[in-house]
Copies of this chain bind each other. A is one copy, B any other.
Amino acid sequence: MPPFFKRHHRKGDGRELILYGLSPLEEAPLPEGEEAFHAAPHLRYHPLRGEWVVYAAHRQERTFLPPKEHCPLCPSREGAFPTEIPFTRFQVAVFENRFPALVASPPPPPAGLPVPAEAARGRCEVVVYTPLHTGSLATLSEEERLLLAWVWRERYQALYSLPGVRFVMPFENRGEAVGVTLHHPHGQIYAYPFVPPILERESAAFRERPVLQELFPRLEAYWIDQEEGFLAFVPPFARYPYEVWLAPWERHPGPWTFSDEEMAAFARLLGRVVARYDALFGEPFPYVMAFHAAPLGEEATFHFHVEFYPPKRTQDKLKFLAGTELGAGTFVVDALPEETAKRLREVL
C-alpha cells in the first residue's frame, strides 16, 4: 500500500467527512453551513418481485447548501458560501450523503403497512474524486487514480465492518443522460442491509460455476483493453450497446485482496476504459458504473468485476428502457457486442 494520509472530520450537521491525501491534512476547517441533517428512510417488501424498495421521502427536498452557481463538491473558499467540504487541501473526500437512502440510525418503519417493512439501515457516501471541478476517471493523474482505488478499498473494509451491512457498492452516475446535475467528478457508495436482487442472481451463478473464468479464454472478439492481470471487454451478452466490464483474470472477491501491483493495474485500466469512452464521440460519455464485489458470505466464489452501462446507442440517440426491459426484464439490443468491442478497441 502506498502511503497516504487520512483525516476524519465531523461536519456541522453531524455527518462524517473523511479526507484522503498524499501529503499531511492539517489545515483548519473553514466555516460550515448550519442546516440540520434529517433523513428518515425505510424499506418495504415487493411481494411479487421478491425485493426490497427503499423509500426516502426526505430526498424530495433535495437542495444543496450553496446557491446554484456554486458546486457543493468543490472545496469551500474563504468568505464564500460553504460547500460540502470545508477544506482546500486534499486529494479525495468521502462524506455521508446529505440525502441518503440508507442511514446508520434509521427510525422504525411506519406501522400498519400492508406489506413487510424494515428500517433502512446502512450508509450512503459521496466520493469526491478530486478537488478540481472538471475531469474524470480518465483525466486524473496516475497517482490520484491509484489513491482513489485505495480509498474505495478502504471504504469497502470500513463499510463491510458496519453491523448489518450485507453488500457494499461503489458506483458512479455520469452525465445528464443518467440524471446527474453535478458535474464535479464524483461517485457514490451504498452499503445495503440486504443482498440486492442483481447481486443475488450473480452470487447464485458464481456458486454454480466460475462464470467469468470460463468466459475469459473465449473473449478474443470482445476484449477492448488490458493490463497485467486485468481485462476490459464488452460482454458477449451485453444489455447496453457500449456496455463494458472490467475484471481481474484471477478470481478476487473484491479489491481488498488485490496486491499492490494489482491495485495499480486496476486503477490504470479503469482510467483507460473511461478514456476510450470519451474518445468514442469526442465528448464526455455518460454511463452508470457499478462495482460488483462479493456480498457478505459469498467471498469463496464471487468474482469481482466492474460493469459500465452507457445509455447511448449513438452519439445523439439514447437507449431508452421501455416495455420489454422494464415490464418483462428482457433487453432488446440493436448493436452487436463484437462490433461495439471493435469500435472501443480501435478508438485509442
Contacts and interface: CB of A to CB of B under 8 A. Distances in A.
B57 A336 contact: yes
Contacts of A339: 57
Interface string A323-343: 110111111111110010000
Interface size class of A (residues with CB under 8 A): 35 or more
A326 to B, nearest CB: 5
A55 to B, nearest CB: 6
Contact of A167 (B51, B101, B328): B328
A290 B328 contact: yes
A41 B327 CA distance: 20
Contacts of A307: 327
A231 interface: no
A322 B114 contact: no
Interface of A: 44-57, 59-60, 101, 113-115, 167, 169, 171-173, 178-180, 188, 190, 192, 196-199, 201-202, 204-206, 209, 211, 215, 218-219, 222, 235-239, 288-290, 292, 307, 309, 318, 320-324, 326-336, 339
30 contacts: A44-B237, A45-B237, A46-B237, A47-B205, A47-B237, A48-B206, A50-B204, A54-B331, A55-B333, A56-B333, A57-B335, A60-B334, A114-B219, A114-B222, A169-B323, A169-B324, A169-B327, A169-B328, A171-B323, A173-B322, A188-B323, A190-B324, A196-B328, A197-B330, A199-B328, A288-B322, A290-B326, A292-B327, A307-B327, A309-B327
Task: Enumerate the 6 nearest inter-chain pairs by beta-carbon distance, A residue then B residue, closest first.
Answer: A290-B327, A179-B320, A171-B323, A114-B218, A196-B328, A197-B329
